[in-house]
Structure 1
Amino acid sequence: MPEVEQERGWDLGWLSFTNPTDGNLKVRYAYQRPTNLGIVGYDVQGRNCFSFHRRLSGQGTIGLDLTRLPEGVYLLRITEGDHQRIEKLVLLK
């Protein structure tokens, strides 16, 4: 399955990530002003598997190492400032 970069934009900037991932998740961002970013991953049983929280501004790429997780489907709760959304992430090794 080819990797597709999912991108979502808000008035404060945008965030994109490769999906599916091989476990080395690359998250690209560009924010016009400092923004609190939170990414929390859950397995299909609702267990918290990983989390990332940081205040970011400008442009950049974050690398998240998910290689310790088994293959499968995960739900990401992405919080950017006051905005929150849920995205599906597929992990293939």
Structure 2
Amino acid sequence: NSSSESEDWGEEPWTVDCPCGVTFDDGEEMVECDECGVWVHTSCCQVSKSVSTYVCDKCKEKKRKEREESEVAQLLVELPGKSVSFD
């Protein structure tokens, strides 16, 4: 029962999408984003290979936008409660 090298990596596909434009494994040291699973060069993202967790810039930006939208939504919910009292 033989298996190919690609099967040794498991069933899940992996994606390279480095800010430098590389979209394939070129043999350079890479790190995987814990959020989206995309691989990037450690040198392009100034990441140490010993880092235990890594989140890419795209995911950081997405989380920042979601957090801002959530904060705005929360402010809108709170607005009616802060109306002027007519006691």
Q: Which has the higher contact order (CA 8 A, sep 6+)?
A: 1
TM-score by length of 2: 0.22
Highest CA radius of gyration, 1 or 2? 2
TM-score by length of 1: 0.21
Higher strand share: 1
Higher helix share: 2
